[in-house]
Amino acid sequence: MNIPFIDLKQQYLTIKEEVNDSILKVLQHGQYVLGPEIRDLESELAQFIQVQHVLTCSSGTDALLLALMAYDVGPGDAVFTTPFTFIATAEVISLLGATPVFVDIDEKTFNIAPQLLEEKIATLPENLNAKAIIAVDLFGLCADYDELTSVANKHNLILVEDAAQSLGAVYKGKKAGAFGHVAATSFYPAKPLGAYGDGGAVFTNDTSIHEKMESIRVHGQGKNKYDNVRLGLNARMDTIQAAVLLHKLQIFPREIEQRQQIANLYTQSLNEYVTTPFIPDDCTSTWAQYSILSDKREVIQKHLKEQGIPTCIFYAKPLHMQDAFKSLGYKQGDFPISENAAQKIMSLPMHPYLKPQDQQHIIAQIIAAVNK
């Protein structure tokens, strides 16, 4: 038996006809770039997230870039984020010539720890200007935005929400994507709301920032594409991806519910054996990953592999230990909470179409491995 880690084929089968039809429609109308489906998707997403402005773009990475460029992040600026995230979060900071300043995570939520952020701001070297925070909603759980908003306000920092993993999550009654000055998400196929290729979006309630990002999305255009008022990117989403996402957005609430049920069963069944995810009151995760901690990770992973059950490690090497960020001068021991999580964490198969018998098998095999 081989269980997929994420089963996108099964999802496709449930929406096959509608998706095929709408892709065909794009092929026929011929507006392959910034076609009508793009605007439809942007307005449906604005409705779903409850934000004023949504701008689709080519990827989650470009969404983060658009956000930072709109706030003129550049050389000399410090942008605070955690080393326990996907490379893209910090990569965009360096690409713009700014400096990622890592802050360790909260050991229960894996999200940026507001108290440690305060300490980092207070001890920032004088040659750097504290400019922005990128808070990541890791594994689909929102960061602590009440605390982060107050830190950002106090120090006059731009707060960016990296919602690449958290579309569909809720924090104190508000949806992921609605926090900070600007939020960025990804529609990479394996994300909770995935397209059939790359895609992303930025969310904001600030009209002037929205307009600036819209300009940057197409080479810094002014009145039109051939009037360029600033340097920008080619960061548009393909119309076909928007057509796909319009359908996926319709079944998304039901899928979030299914993800929730699967996560609940994992937690009820496994919490005596491993450390299961911590979800604070007033929050719901969208379960981009269901990640457990165990001192016996190697044993569990090997046993599950033998049983045809895939697992992944997000993230085995925190960013401060990556060669790409060597020049920042961090060393092992600088972020002990991230480093400890990297040693013990593993993610289990998680998607809305996980069959009950497969999930029971996964659970039984984890328990068997722990008891070995």
Ligand X SMILES: *Cc1c(COP(=O)(O)O)cnc(C)c1O
Q: Return residues touching ligand X (CB under 6 A).
A: 59-61, 85-86, 88-89, 136, 162, 164-165, 186, 188, 198, 200
Query: If you search the block for the tokens 């701001």, which residue do you land on?
Result: 121
191 is a catalytic site residue: yes
Annotate 57-89 with b (16+ C-beta within 10 A) or e (fewer): bbbbbbbbbbbbbbbebeeebbbbbbbbbbebb
Nearest Cα to Cα of residue 263 among 110, 124, 141, 134 = 141
Q: Which is nearer to ligand X, 83 or 270 (CB)?
A: 83
CB of 91 vs ligand X, minimal distance in Å: 9
The answer to whether residues 163 and 185 touch, using CB atoms and an 8 Å cutoff, is yes
Q: Which of 205, 171, 168 is nearest to 187 (CA)?
A: 168
**C-beta of residue 355 within 8 angstroms of C-beta of residue 349:** no
Nearer to ligand X by C-beta: 60 or 180? 60
* Residue 70 in tokens: 């709109």
Q: Which residue is nearest to ligand X (CB)?
A: 60
Check 131, 191, 212, 248 and give the catalytic one: 191
CB of 63 to ligand X, least distance (A): 7
Least separation in angstroms between CB 333 and ligand X: 24
Distance of alpha carbon 265 from alpha carbon 60, whole angstroms: 30
Residue number with CB closer to ligand X (60 or 349): 60
Give Cα separations from 36 to 27, 40, 55, 118, 238 (angstroms): 12, 6, 13, 44, 11
Least distance from C-beta 163 to ligand X, angstroms? 8
Q: CB 1 → ligand X: shortest distance, Å?
A: 29
CA–CA–CA angle 342, 347, 353 (5° rounding): 165
Q: Please, are residues 228 and 219 in contact by the beta-carbon 8 Å criterion?
A: yes
CB 349 within 8 A of CB 309: yes
| Residue 33 φ then ψ, to 5° | -120, 130
Residue 229 CB, shortest distance to ligand X, in Å, is 26
| Nearest distance in Å: CB 325, ligand X | 15
CA distance 123 to 56: 37
By beta-carbon proximity to ligand X, the closer residue of 89 and 294 is 89
Continuous H helices in 54-107: 60-70, 87-95
Write the burial class of residue 30 (CB in 10 Å: 0-12 exposed, 13-18 middle, 19+ buried).
exposed
Catalogue the active-site residues.
191
